[in-house]
Each structure stands twice: as structure tokens, then as C-alpha cells.
Structure 1
Amino acid sequence: MALSALVIAGVGGVAFGLSSYSPASARGGDAELRTALAKRLPKTKITAVDCNKLTGLCEVSAGNTLFYTDRHARYLVIGRGYDMETRPDLTAAMLLELNPDTLLGAAAHNEAPAGDSGVRAAPTRVSLAELPVGGAIRWGALSGPKVVVFTDFHCPYCMKLSETLATIGVRVEERPISVLGTRALSEKVYCSKNPVASLHGAYRHEEPTTDVAKCDTSGLDANEAFARRHMFAGTPIIVRADGSVIEGFRPAAELTAWLKGGAA
């Protein structure tokens, strides 16, 4: 079914005309779109094209990567698609179909079309000493094992991870980074009077009303710089107190074992 109310999170400045779109004409144009994509992205192997699912946009799969374009392959959109009426994350559902073993929050991954040479994988260990005290929102059990999470408030698996961490008695340090265009939201959450409550609210699409003009957001800058330096291309990224890194959502039992020193 085509969806008429769609927003792509994290991408701005591109508008698509929806009223003149016809699913029937899209079906006939898939081959032309593949040809156009091959010319514009010659080193990206396109595995599937679907112009019927979303009104006005075509969903394109390239291995485990998902992005969107118009039917003429002029505009490339990397971000998350949400149905604004029923609220589901349409991109997350498709990414899970493409790669059920890797529940990463980011829409673009190692085969992203923006870089023909690919993206280097995140390291398996980092030094948390590089991070400042600022830039973190801390909550959870003070006596529990420490876990640092690089998160994006529009990432559904980040929300799922946050909910899971709340059940296993850990000391959580969430560090927002903007993978899906959420820097302004991160500032409002971080600078709010109750950052912990605002954090959990932000995952539920509740935006705090915060004056950030007098707030020091240099800690958020440090989070972004750390993420870039260590090639954190998706969220969530989970870091243990000893610096060990795992990517993506993990269930409670696996997280508990890993935080006790087990293998990922």
C-alpha cells in the first residue's frame, strides 16, 4: 500500500511532488530507474528497487544498505522514513528484512552509495579516557556495571536498547550523536532541567522546550568528534568500561554476559 504521509528524518532541502504520482507508472519505471542509478552510482550494486511502497519515492536496496530516490534518480535520500499517521519506522522494518542479524540504527552502512570505497568498520576497543565528563546523560543503577551508549534519539533500536538496559541493573551513560539529523533535539534534551526524563521522552517523540542559548554543548561536540574518529557510522554503539565495543541492539541476557566480561 502506498503511504501518503511520509517524513524522511535527518534529510532536508529536497521536496517531492506527491499528488501526481501513480503506482502503476512506477512499476513500469523500475527498469529505467535501475539504468539511471547505474550511471550515477556505477560502483554501487543495486539489488532491489521498489517504487510502489512509498508515494513519490522509490526504495532502493544495495546489499544491506537502504536509501531512497525519486523516479529519475536525481535526488538521493539517506535517512529514515516514518509514517506520520501511524508512527512506524518504515526504514527499520526493511533494514531488518535485509539484515536480521545486525540491528543497527543507521540507514547507511558499509555499502553506502555516497562513498565508493566503503566505510571502515568501527574498532572493537576504544579509550573512554578520550571523552570529557560533559556530553553524557547518566542514569540507572549507581552500583551496577558501567555501559556507555552512543545513541540517536530517532533510532528505534536505541530506544529498544535503552528500555532493555533499564531492566538489567546497569549504570548507563548515554552520549547523543547525530546520525539522523538530531543535533538540535540532542541539545534540547541535554540542556533540559531533567535530562534523564527528557532522554526517555525523546525516544517517544516528545521534544522538551529548552532554551539552549546559555547551555554548554561542547560535550556533544566531543561526542560527535569521538564518533567520527572511531568510525561510528550507526547507532547504537555500546562500550564497556574496559573500552570493548559492540554495535547494534543486543538482548538483555547477551548484554548481561558481555558486561561481565564475556565475548560479544
Structure 2
Amino acid sequence: MSVTDRLRAVVARTPWSYGLIALPVVGLGAAAIAAAAVPTEDSQVAGLLKARLPKTEISAVNCAKVAGLCEVTAGANLFYVDRGARYLVIGRVYDMETRQDVTAARLLEMNPDMLVGGAAKANATAALGGEADASPLAPTAGARRVSVPERPATLSLAGLPRDGAIVWGNKASSQSVTVFTDFRCGYCRALTSVLRSMDVKVIERPISVLGSRDLADRVYCAKNREEALHAAYSGAPFESGKCDTRGLDANEQFARSHGLSGTPVIVRSDGAMLEGYRPKDVLEAWLKGAKS
């Protein structure tokens, strides 16, 4: 046996050698426990928010979704803060690469029955703990509160000009429906797919809830508006030109004056109104109930 082999045998039989061998294992275990005890970025931000917004019950914090921001959910509401929880952001995050309204998609995931858009007030209320006047973010003296008109159960379209509408579907059908939509609204896209499978005349009136006015202009000015409309929803390219888009301005004005701050809004021929997406069977039954 060589000198090296004899030394190895002695070390292996020495009691303290077991301690040396075990030390790294103990160290790794302690490190794992210590790492588990260190608060994550999400929990750190949640702790800061608890101190700064004590009246707001925070449901979850996610700092991994949007670079530089942490998504905060409070019940059915959503807002954002920076990673130091100093700046609170109430608004929409739009992904220009995927052409998706990240905030709207998340709100719909949280509240499947809600409209896309018009959630800023609810988000603000959640962020301020339901008592805006008690918050440092409340309006300053002399600030004017803006009230949103209450949406009616029925909606008269008499004030709308013919311009601004994109008519598609079965134009000879006895059933017609007017839909206020946004080309960047996922539920509007889903509703359009349902309406395409129905024997109905669709009068679509685009409004810009999710910053889609540029896209609406292009669809409206296309040679074949129906083809352009479906291409816009699918994200496919289409050709367009320049035209008079004052009809779309009229749609926007009508929506604002009647408190239509979300999409889709579906209006039957007799003025009955539905807000939000509906499946085919519900729409067919609802359309049959139109008063002559």
C-alpha cells in the first residue's frame, strides 16, 4: 500500500473526518433555510403597500409580469406600483409587440363578465382603499370631479349618422344588431366570431377604448370594410387608404355622451341593450325577443 493510500485510510477512520465531511451538507441546508426565510420581491412590495395603503386589502402582488412594475390586485381591481412601492399607477399597460392591452386582458381574466374599459374608477377606488378623499391622491381643492353618465337599459340610436358604421354579415336578414366595439378588445373579437356564425345583419360602430383609433381609421377607409374588419381582429395585414372619418368621430361622441366607456355594447333593433360578450345561444334567444 502506498503512503497516499495509508493516509487516506487513516483519515477515513478518524472520527473528526465525519464532521468535516458533514459540514458542507449542514451549510447547504442552513443556506436553503435562510433563503426561504428571505422575503421575495412580491412580499416586500406587499409589505410596503400595507404600510402606505392601510385601508386597501391587497389580494396579490406580481412583479414578474411587466418589466419595472408590480401588478397589484385588490379584490376585483387592478393597479400597478414601482418596485419601491413609491409610485402608484392607475391606467393601462399596452404591449406594443404583441398588440395586446395587458391590463384589459388581466381584468377580463379576473372578472369574466365585465366590459373592457371603464375600469379606471374602480381601480382608483381600490388603490385608495375606497375613501379617495382621505388619500393623498385625492383631488386638490378646486379640482372638478368628472361624473360618468349612467348607462340606460335601452339605447336610442336615433342621433347617430349613417356614416361611422361598418355593415357586414347577412345584409338581407330580418334581424339586425348594432355593436359598439374596439378592434383591440379580445371579447369584441370573440363576439364577432359568434356573430359571423349567425344569420344576422351586423352594424358595427368602432369606438376607441383601448387606443385603437388608428386601426379603426384604417378599417373604415379600406376598400372592402368587412374583409378589413375581420383582418383587424385576427391581426392579419390589409390594405387601406385615406377617407373622411368624421363618422367615427360621431361614434366616439355618442359613446361618451351615453356613458359607453367599455366594449362590446350590443344594441337590438328595438333599442334593448346588452353590455359585454354573450355566447351564441344567448344572443339568438335575445334577438328573437325584439319588439316589432
- Is the counterpart of residue 247 in structure 1 residue 260 in structure 2? no
- Is the counterpart of residue 172 in structure 1 residue 202 in structure 2? yes
Aligned residue number for residue 9 of structure 1: none
- Is the counterpart of residue 29 in structure 1 residue 45 in structure 2? yes
Match of 2:62 among 46, 51, 64: 51
After TM superposition, which residue ranges in structure 1, 4 or more long, deviate above 6 angstroms? none
Equivalent pair of 1:128/1:243 in contact (CA under 8 Å): yes
Q: Which has the higher helix share?
A: 2
Unpaired stretches in structure 2, ≥5 consecutive residues: 1-38, 133-144
Q: Percent identity?
A: 44
Query: What is the CA–CA distance in structure 1 between the aligned matches of 2:97 and 2:230, rounded to whole Å?
Result: 20
Q: CA deviation at 1:78?
A: 2.1
Aligned residue number for residue 156 of structure 2: 127
Three-state SS of the structure 2 residue aligned to 1:111 is helix
Query: What is the CA–CA distance in structure 2 between the aligned matches of 1:251 and 1:123, rounded to whole Å?
Result: 22
Aligned residue number for residue 252 of structure 2: 224
Query: What is the CA–CA distance in structure 2 between the aligned matches of 1:199 and 1:133, rounded to whole Å?
Result: 18
Aligned residue number for residue 288 of structure 2: 260
Q: Give the number of aligned pairs.
A: 232
Three-state SS of the structure 2 residue aligned to 1:130 is coil
Equivalent pair of 1:153/1:176 in contact (CA under 8 Å): yes
Three-state SS of the structure 1 residue aligned to 2:122 is coil
RMSD of aligned residue pairs (Cα, Å): 3.0
Q: CA deviation at 1:192?
A: 1.2
Three-state SS of the structure 2 residue aligned to 1:66 is strand
Larger CA Rg, structure 1 vs 2: 2
Query: What is the CA–CA distance in structure 2 between the aligned matches of 1:208 and 1:165, rounded to whole Å?
Result: 21
TM-score using structure 1 length: 0.76
Query: What is the CA–CA distance in structure 2 between the aligned matches of 1:48 and 1:24, rounded to whole Å?
Result: 16
Unpaired stretches in structure 1, ≥5 consecutive residues: 1-22
- Is the counterpart of residue 66 in structure 1 residue 78 in structure 2? yes
- Is the counterpart of residue 78 in structure 1 residue 91 in structure 2? yes
Higher RCO, Cα 8 Å, sep 6+:
1
Q: CA deviation at 1:134?
A: 0.6
TM-score using structure 2 length: 0.69
Report the residue type matching 1:32 in the other structure.
L
Aligned residue number for residue 111 of structure 2: 99
Aligned residue number for residue 217 of structure 2: 187
Equivalent pair of 1:149/1:174 in contact (CA under 8 Å): yes
Match of 2:124 among 103, 113, 135: 113
